Structure 1
Amino acid sequence: MSTIPIIFNESLPSYTAVGGSVRGASTGVSAILLNRGGRYPRRTLFKELEKSGFDYIISLEGPHDRYDLEELSGRFPFVRFILLKDQVSPGEQINLAVSELNSPLFFVLWNDLRILHGGDAAKISEWLRFSREELRKAPSGTRASGGTIRRLCTVPVMQNSGMETLPTIITPAFFRSTVKPLHFPPHGEAQPSLYPFDGVGLYDRDRFIKLGGFDSSINSTYYQLLDFGFRAHLWGEEIRSTQLIRLSYDGEAEAEDTTTDSNYRRFYLKNLAPVFHRDSAHIPISLFPAYFLKTGGEIGAAWGEFNRNRLWVRANRYRFRRDARILTSLWEHPGGMDDPGYFPPEDESFPGRIEFPGNSSGAGFSRGTPHSPGVPKP
């Protein structure tokens, strides 16, 4: 049984690093390039990223031979190729790439994405250089400019190959007593989003590391992103959109695999089960009987999983700023996520009333309709 990481990159996958000895620019922004497979014009892609002015590019390579790496590393000395020995999740790949970087900001991309607008790294650094506190003190002209708040992650507008804007803004909502993510297309600047769709976005490196990065004990890409997003918002971080950067897929965006399994149970216990009270969070031990009855299986294994997550929440209890009930109510409150002082009325039935439906699977995403399953039976 895998343990839940307490600190960032508690365990790293096996890999070899090649190249990346020369800084390409001094903008404070580097790029992390995830490879989805297929034959893409790598030289053209690296040239485009070179023109954008990124300090370094980390290219994640799967566990297979790359016979052109020597040539590419010579032609593009600012690209560091990470050769993975085994197949690992995108979240683990991002964690690994971040450990190889020193840039204050990093931009996560896939090799089937193209930057249509706003990909200049110097401008990106300028947009994101202010913290919320610095903006309050800044001149009114600076304060009015969009996208200048330093936050954990800023997500761009994303389109498919037909130039249709994708519904990449995700919000949490209650649906039949279960928290569900809903997808909507972006319609303004600095809209809050539950998580960065496909992992794509501009991240603040220090905030990312303090948050713990992506949970390597979750194997599902979908639940890894969902866990990252919920944890970020529960711990007081911000994930917001920008209209200043626009990307396009070469084809269609990959469908999200929302199949319920043990990954969802771990996500549920870490994010939906904790209750926030006064200045900390905890998982009530009284929740275990309902958890066991709904998930089934052997009681010892169920208790082991429940207790491991309960201990993880206890170790991080003072990092919580709200629980899932408060988060969802805050999102639905008229003041939205811009009213962090709002607390909904006490509701002791939460989280015990969250349902544990049977196994299900989903693909793609919907516009304004429930998208993810609840806690599953095995």
Structure 2
Amino acid sequence: MANNYRIYRRRVDLGSRISQLHSTEQLAIGILDTGTPEQLIENLNWFVENMNYALHVVTQEDQLDIPAMQEAYKEVTFLVFTSMTFTGEKINAIANECQTSYFLIVRSDLLLVRFDGSALFSLMAEREPPAALAAILANSNKEIVPSLRSPFLNGKLLEPKSHLPSLDAPHPQPTLYPVMALGMYDRALFQRLRGFDERIHSEYFQALDWGIRCHLLGYTVKATPHLLMQFADRQSIIEDRSESDGFKRCYTKALSIEQINGKNLIRKYKGYVDKDALSDEVKKRLLWLQKMDFPQLVKQWKLPDEEQS
């Protein structure tokens, strides 16, 4: 898909430019401009002062005075979309432009309460690293909210269950996808998995589709208390799970393959079929790459209480 954004790159001094030719920066931080201009500026000031990583702001035309912002934040790259777009496309843009080993997705209307860099980088460098480390989320009352998800089919409907994460769990806890796509991603693996599906017009279904794809292809997504974010102005943190344009692409990719005796077979999921996704994604790619089917994923999933027992 053609780029729908303009890039205003950070102004890096010559010495830094030369050193970066010989090394890959470890982490980029992508700040999604989802709040007020005041919240974005407050966030940027905090990140510039506290986080020595490449900063990228993703915003929309006419939201900000970009020349003024560039002058005030010379170390920040701005990705400016020319029209309204969904979270997945914004994150794909960050992954395309950041040129780092990992990238962290945050929002301008939340606070990064806990970022234990050494622990997070260690988890991402394990022998079988997760595709992403999902953030644990808290509300304005500083209460941890159910931000773990497990796979579940309610009749014919994909309806992941929600669980409360433990801040005392000795190991990262499995989750189906990062809620609101908030978390730290392995950039190379993210792109190998082909990122978020931009033909799905829903933040929730984009994240769900990506997470299911990770697990069915043999990768994992984990949640860890080393990464904690708080919505300071929101007591209730609810995903919009309503059916939007392209949501059937998620159903088709998740549920159109049945594995029998280790062999993948096409099975049309009646009522929730996207013909393009079935032809271009399932038949051409997933059929040969998928390690298990969705019912197997549900069956083998360990819920949080089972993890801790």
- TM-score relative to the length of structure 2: 0.85
Q: In percent, how many aligned pairs have the same letter?
A: 20
Mapped pair 1:213 → 2:206: no
What is the CA-CA distance between 1:177 and the residue it aligns to? 5.7
Work out the number of aligned pairs and report it.
295
Cα distance in 1 between the residues matched to 2:190 and 2:176: 15
Cα distance in 2 between the residues matched to 1:46 and 1:230: 32
Cα distance in 1 between the residues matched to 2:30 and 2:64: 18
Compared CA separation, residues 51 and 121, structure 1 to 2 (3 A): farther
Mapped pair 1:82 → 2:61: no
Mapped pair 1:202 → 2:184: yes
AA aligned to 1:157 is I
Cα distance in 2 between the residues matched to 1:96 and 1:103: 13
Map 1:133-148 → 2, pairs under 5 A = none
Mapped pair 1:331 → 2:304: no
User: Match of 1:159?
Assistant: 138
Bigger proportion of residues as strand: 2
Cα distance in 2 between the residues matched to 1:53 and 1:122: 13
Of 237-246 and 12-21, deviating more is 12-21
Cα distance in 1 between the residues matched to 2:39 and 2:157: 44
Compared CA separation, residues 39 and 157, structure 1 to 2 (3 A): same
Mapped pair 1:314 → 2:283: yes
Compared CA separation, residues 268 and 224, structure 1 to 2 (3 A): same
Cα distance in 2 between the residues matched to 1:195 and 1:70: 36
Compared CA separation, residues 121 and 49, structure 1 to 2 (3 A): farther
Map 1:92-107 → 2, pairs under 5 A = 92-107=89-104
Cα distance in 1 between the residues matched to 2:2 and 2:263: 30
What is the CA-CA distance between 1:197 and the residue it aligns to? 0.4
Contact 2:5 2:80 survives alignment (8 Å): yes
Cα distance in 1 between the residues matched to 2:206 and 2:218: 18
User: Match of 1:33?
Assistant: 31
What is the CA-CA distance between 1:174 and the residue it aligns to? 3.7
In structure 2, stretches of 5+ residues that fail to align are none
| Match of residue 51, structure 1, among 49, 52, 76 | 49
Cα distance in 2 between the residues matched to 1:309 and 1:321: 18
Compared CA separation, residues 14 and 260, structure 1 to 2 (3 A): closer
Compared CA separation, residues 192 and 48, structure 1 to 2 (3 A): same
CA RMSD of aligned residues (A): 2.8
1:342-370 C-alpha deviation (Å, 9 max, x unpaired): xxxxxxxxxxxxxxxxxxxxxxxxxxxxx
Compared CA separation, residues 41 and 232, structure 1 to 2 (3 A): same
Compared CA separation, residues 254 and 64, structure 1 to 2 (3 A): farther
AA aligned to 1:112 is D
User: Match of 1:21?
Assistant: 11
Secondary structure, aligned partner of 2:151: strand
Cα distance in 2 between the residues matched to 1:124 and 1:51: 20
Secondary structure, aligned partner of 1:21: coil
Mapped pair 1:70 → 2:52: no
- TM-score relative to the length of structure 1: 0.70
Compared CA separation, residues 54 and 318, structure 1 to 2 (3 A): farther
What is the CA-CA distance between 1:311 and the residue it aligns to? 4.1
Of 265-274 and 309-318, deviating more is 309-318
Mapped pair 1:109 → 2:106: yes
What is the CA-CA distance between 1:104 and the residue it aligns to? 0.3
What is the CA-CA distance between 1:167 and the residue it aligns to? 0.4
In structure 1, stretches of 5+ residues that fail to align are 1-10, 133-149, 296-301, 338-378
Contact 1:109 1:200 survives alignment (8 Å): yes
Cα distance in 1 between the residues matched to 2:277 and 2:148: 32
Cα distance in 1 between the residues matched to 2:157 and 2:63: 45
